[in-house]
């Protein structure tokens, strides 16, 4: 949407309130803004708890955690900038009008990060598959730093191109679709590749010999790919939905219909921000365990939380012969350490 202060830039779903006032829809618009504020504040509380889990609960490799923190960081920036925009629309102040384009710039860049986010998880899992022998032993911080050092400049340049109208909206929407689909297919490929290697380890010929660390990393790759596939389906759904709404800027439609689509975009983005952490929490047993511990602690219950033994894939284990399984494990351990 075109900025109210300039005519040669556009921002994602910015609504000019002067048109709303001219149509006598100010009351309805203000109610929607206040509802959005309530949702954003609830989302902020959820964000703080999710950030706590990412920092203090180790549920995945450091690099993957760092990428999720980056993902959450863009939502925080988008959320704060959106709150500033809403505040300025509900409480106009000429002395603070300069905040509107600044907040719109920040929000647009952050939304572009969200739209292009899927490939960074794909690249990280591909590198985890390549360095299967020692990836879990070492943080390999350079992996996440390399990914983000390439990702952010490209996304920032794309966002500026959108704001400055250097490229048509249709180009950006198509690129969103292509990048998201590539990201999803890439994780699916990593899942199939690691599953095939793990199967060869289990029942294949003798030449496929892995130590315990390699076997653990293969299992971890498979487990995290399963998690990422489910998370990516949700991200893909919201990204395609939000991107499709942006096409309203490309086609010539009634301005009221365009503004309705913008309101839909803002609420869809809000639901997006609230839903993804819930899905990730549901998929990570470590986060669920910490949440249960916090709830028990808050309720002043000292009873120990029973944990069901699980396999390396997070599945419930059924023990048939404890002695046999123990012998298999320690035989593998001795081979790996001698």
In this structure, the number of other CB atoms found within 10 A of the CB of residue 133 comes to: 12
Each residue of 249-288: b (16+ CB within 10 Å) or e? beeeeeeeebbebbbebbebbbebbbbbbeebbebbeebe
Distance CA(163)–CA(226), nearest Å, equals: 36
Higher-confidence residue: 244 or 228? 228
Is the per-residue pLDDT at 160 higher than 90? Answer: yes
Distance CA(187)–CA(226), nearest Å, equals: 9
Res 11: pLDDT? 75
Confidence class of residue 323 from pLDDT cuts 50, 70 and 90?
low
Distance CA(277)–CA(214), nearest Å, equals: 30
Please state, for a pLDDT cut of 90, what percent of the chain lies above it. Answer: 32
The CATH number of the domain covering residues in 17-283: 1.20.1070.10
Is the per-residue pLDDT at 257 higher than 60? Answer: yes
Is the per-residue pLDDT at 335 higher than 90? Answer: no
Residues sharing a CB contact under 8 Å with residue 271, sequence separation 6 or more, in sequence order:
238
Higher-confidence residue: 4 or 281? 281
Helix or strand or coil: residue 88? helix
The tokens for 66 are: 């760092």
Task: Render pLDDT for 89-104 as a digit per residue (tens, 0 to 9).
Answer: 888 888 888 888 899 9
What pTM, to 2 d.p., does this model score? 0.79
Distance CA(202)–CA(214), nearest Å, equals: 12
């Amino acid at each position: 949407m075109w900025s109210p202060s300039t005519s040669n830039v556009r921002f994602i779903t910015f609504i000019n309130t002067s048109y709303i006032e001219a149509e006598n829809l100010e009351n309805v618009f203000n109610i929607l803004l206040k509802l959005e504020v309530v949702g954003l504040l609830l989302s902020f509380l959820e964000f703080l708890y999710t950030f706590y889990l990412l920092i203090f609960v180790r549920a995945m490799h450091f690099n993957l955690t760092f990428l999720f923190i980056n993902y959450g960081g863009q939502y925080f920036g988008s959320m704060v900038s959106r709150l500033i925009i809403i505040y300025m629309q509900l409480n106009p102040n000429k002395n603070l009008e300069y905040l509107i384009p600044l907040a719109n710039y920040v929000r647009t860049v952050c939304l572009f990060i969200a739209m292009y986010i899927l490939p960074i998880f794909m690249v990280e899992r591909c590198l985890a598959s390549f360095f299967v022998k020692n990836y879990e032993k070492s943080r390999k911080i350079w992996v996440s730093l390399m990914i983000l050092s390439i990702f952010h400049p490209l996304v920032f340049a794309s966002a500026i191109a959108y704001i400055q109208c250097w490229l048509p909206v249709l180009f950006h929407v198509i690129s969103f679709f292509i990048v998201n689909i590539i990201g999803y297919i890439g994780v699916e490929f990593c899942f199939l590749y690691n599953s095939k290697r793990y199967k060869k380890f289990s029942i294949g010929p003798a030449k496929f010999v892995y130590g315990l660390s390699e076997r653990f990393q293969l299992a971890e790759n498979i487990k995290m790919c399963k998690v990422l596939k489910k998370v990516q389906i949700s991200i893909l759904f919201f990204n395609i939905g939000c991107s499709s709404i942006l096409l309203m800027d490309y086609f010539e439609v009634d301005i009221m219909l365009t503004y309705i689509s913008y309101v839909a975009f803002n609420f869809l983005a809000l639901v997006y921000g609230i839903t993804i952490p819930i899905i990730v929490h549901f998929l990570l047993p470590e986060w669920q365990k910490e949440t249960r511990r916090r709830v028990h602690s808050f309720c002043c219950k000292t009873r120990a939380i029973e944990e069901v033994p699980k396999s390396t894939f997070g599945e419930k284990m059924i023990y048939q012969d404890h002695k046999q399984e123990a012998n298999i494990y320690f035989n593998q351990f001795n081979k790996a350490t001698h």
